[in-house]
Amino acid sequence: MHTDLPLRNSSAPADVLADVASVGVALIDGVPGRSGLVALAHSIGTVVPHRDSDLDGATAIEDRAHRDAAMVGFTRAPLAPHTDRSSIENPPGLLLTVCSQEPVSGGESVIVDGQAVYDDLAQTMPSALAALCAPRSALFGGADGYLGSVFAPGPDGVVAVRLRLDSLVRFAPAVAPHIPALRAAIERHLVTLPVRTGAGYVLNNRRWLHGRRGFAGPRLMYRVTADPRPHTVTAGFRPETTVTGETAVPTVLRRQEPIDTTTTAEPAPLSSITAPGDHP
């Protein structure tokens, strides 16, 4: 269990915002379903519509028996920790979820602090971290997706995380061998949250990753993405260790290049990738 997680389970907007601003995540409880989640989102930011959302900005995440990779969120399958909307240049800064119906078994949410993963790799596997920071070293979401890196150092020392580990990501040849180390670091910092009606989380989508366990029976979650108001939540985190230009691996992935897909179980051809499938 992550020892720095706030434990107060408050859904008061001021408390949620304070927790997200300080540690990147807030655990919420007693949220009255969809309308409550949408109201909370409006109180702390600007709701960002999603491809799959309804007019109020909320998406019902449930098993719809989809079979294509881009819609795996609408199944009962587990989802590896990921960033929502990783295929666009500026993913929304906030992700809010709440459970509306508990499954018969499984379905727990999993979340991971990207800062903890970054600092872990800086200590245990600096060469992996340098590769994961290299610009244009990962293609998120297919040929029309976003060409960037897992960790993106920005101005003022802020680093943003961006990740997906499904069949809709491609890593440059110099990065792919380090994905097992990344997966191992993620596993070391994984936090499992029980899925319970009215409970959920709000997280900084540029700092924390989220996923879920597979489940049986009906499971209904609502998801809203939003952008925080200016100067409230940083678009990333400030790591304890900085990867300098000297240590960064100069590996560049161009869209036209053959791509090493050894890290994905059953990679889809680039032409078949249409849209991200990122859900809580």
Interacting residues with Fe ion (CB under 5 A): 84, 278-279
CB of 250 to Fe ion, least distance (A): 31
CB of 40 to Fe ion, least distance (A): 18
CB of 156 to Fe ion, least distance (A): 27
Torsion of CA 121, 124, 126, 127, to 10 degrees: -110
**Of 186, 175, 224, whose CA–CA distance to 208 is shortest?**
186
Q: Residue with CB nearest Fe ion?
A: 278
CB of 248 to Fe ion, least distance (A): 28
Using CA atoms, how far apart are residues 43 and 225, in angstroms rounded to an integer? 13
Six-digit token string for 109: 């949410």
**Of 3, 226, 214, whose CA–CA distance to 109 is shortest?**
214
Closer CB to Fe ion, 119 or 227, in the complex: 227
CB of 178 to Fe ion, least distance (A): 23
CB of 246 to Fe ion, least distance (A): 35
Closer CB to Fe ion, 62 or 119, in the complex: 62
Closer CB to Fe ion, 228 or 280, in the complex: 280
CB of 279 to Fe ion, least distance (A): 4
Closer CB to Fe ion, 162 or 279, in the complex: 279
10: buried, middle or exposed (CB in 10 Å: 19+, 13-18, 0-12)?
middle
Closer CB to Fe ion, 83 or 251, in the complex: 83
Closer CB to Fe ion, 27 or 253, in the complex: 27
Which residues pair with residue 171 across a beta bridge?
A: 138
Phi, psi of 124 (to 5 degrees): -100, -30
Sign of the CA dihedral with 81 first, then 87, 93, and 99 last: negative
Closer CB to Fe ion, 178 or 206, in the complex: 206
β-pairing, 94-101 with 200-204? Answer: antiparallel
Q: Which residues contact 49 (CB under 8 A, 6 or more apart)?
A: 57
Neighbours of 245 (CB within 10 A): 9
